[in-house]
Amino acid sequence: MSSPTDSRPSPSTGSSPPRRRRTPGLFVVLATAGVLLVGLPLLGLVLRTPWSRVGEVLSTEIVLDALRLSLIVATVAAAISFVTGFPLAWLLVRGSFRGKTLIRAMVVLPLVMPPVVAGVGLFAAFGRRGIVGSWLYEWFGWQITFTTWAAVLAATFVSFPLAVLALEAGLRGLDERLEDAASTLGASRWYVMRRVIFPLMAPQIAAALVLSWARALGEFGATITFAGNLRGRTQTLPLAVFEGLQTDPEAAFAISMLLIAIGFGVIVGLRGRFLR
């Protein structure tokens, strides 16, 4: 990126490249304010983290339980999002059916929905008195609320739209004529899927998995509302941070740094390999 000083218009000489315009000074001020808004909390976290105790705090049983649970919940949520999101993206891109626009709008709604509202909704659907939950309880004696499955459902709810959007973009970018070519070369539908569609969509499949996994890992509002904050069962890392803030602030900072490190790793990974 060029700094404001080197973007002065060069002296115009006949057919020189189009001259660059000077960046408005106001933009520099406002942009700096934006960067500070995001940067200061990060700086605060770094400064307040008890670096000498990080190893000790992160290896306590509470944190290890939360870490293990978070990894399981996020991984299962990302897997469910992919397995159900791929067929849905396929139908949204290639299918033609009534209500397609409505379904797409509904699927991306969780992106702009307050997670606590998502939690309330999950309660209404899968709670013991919910539309599906009451039925599951009566027939099988299953209760989802306050179990790890509830944490998985909450995480899936918020990460599913990201998977669908990434997969939709991947499917839209495919040249369907390549699939035609493959079928004339003797490839069955599944062979085309395995050897042509999946490899060509690899960047978007990776993006779908990583984005939904990262979103699931950070889920807080829906989880605490629908699944509760039970150590070893539903207390994921963000919930442990929340609890730690009240009981052991240094632990909260240490776990926050861990989550930031994971998030940072995801962004670096996506930048370099997955997002074109």
**Main-chain dihedrals φ then ψ at residue 201, nearest 5 degrees:** -95, 5
List 14, 96, 112, 177, residue binding another protein (CB under 8 A): 177
Q: Cα–Cα distance between 77 and 163 in angstroms, integer? A: 10
- In the complex, minimum distance from the CB of residue 203 to another protein, in angstroms, rounded to a whole number: 11
Stretch that binds another protein, among 14-22, 64-72, 88-96, 192-200 (CB under 8 A): 192-200
Query: Which residues, 197 to 226, sit near another protein by CB under 8 A?
Result: 199-200
Told to check if 273 binds another protein by CB under 8 A, we report no
Told to check if 188 binds another protein by CB under 8 A, we report yes
Stretch that binds another protein, among 69-77, 101-109, 113-121, 176-184 (CB under 8 A): 176-184
Q: Which burial class, exposed, middle or buried, applies to 156 when counting CB atoms under 10 A from its CB (0-12, 13-18, 19+)?
A: buried
Residue 242 CA, distance from chain mean position:
20
Told to check if 120 binds another protein by CB under 8 A, we report no
- In the complex, minimum distance from the CB of residue 180 to another protein, in angstroms, rounded to a whole number: 5
Stretch that binds another protein, among 42-50, 82-90, 178-186, 247-255 (CB under 8 A): 178-186
List 27, 51, 135, 191, residue binding another protein (CB under 8 A): 191
Told to check if 266 binds another protein by CB under 8 A, we report no
List 30, 178, 261, 267, residue binding another protein (CB under 8 A): 178
For the CA atoms of 89, 90, 95, 99, the dihedral, rounded to the nearest 10 degrees, stands at: -20
Q: Cα–Cα distance between 165 and 189 in angstroms, integer? A: 24
- Contact between 253 and 45 under an 8 Å Cβ cutoff? The reply is yes
The residue (of 179 and 248) whose beta carbon lies closer to another protein is 179
Q: What is the Cβ-side half-sphere exposure of residue 40, based on CA atoms within 13 angstroms?
A: 5
Distances (CA, A) of 39 to 34, 45, 115, 195, 266: 8, 10, 24, 44, 18
- Contact between 254 and 49 under an 8 Å Cβ cutoff? The reply is yes
List 195, 232, 261, 268, residue binding another protein (CB under 8 A): 195
List 69, 182, 208, 252, residue binding another protein (CB under 8 A): 182
Size of the site for another protein (CB under 8 A): 17
Locate 260 and state its tokens.
């930031």
Locate 228 and state its tokens.
């509760």
List 40, 64, 105, 181, residue binding another protein (CB under 8 A): 181
- Chain positions contacting another protein, by CB under 8 A: 175, 177-178, 180-188, 191, 195-196, 199-200
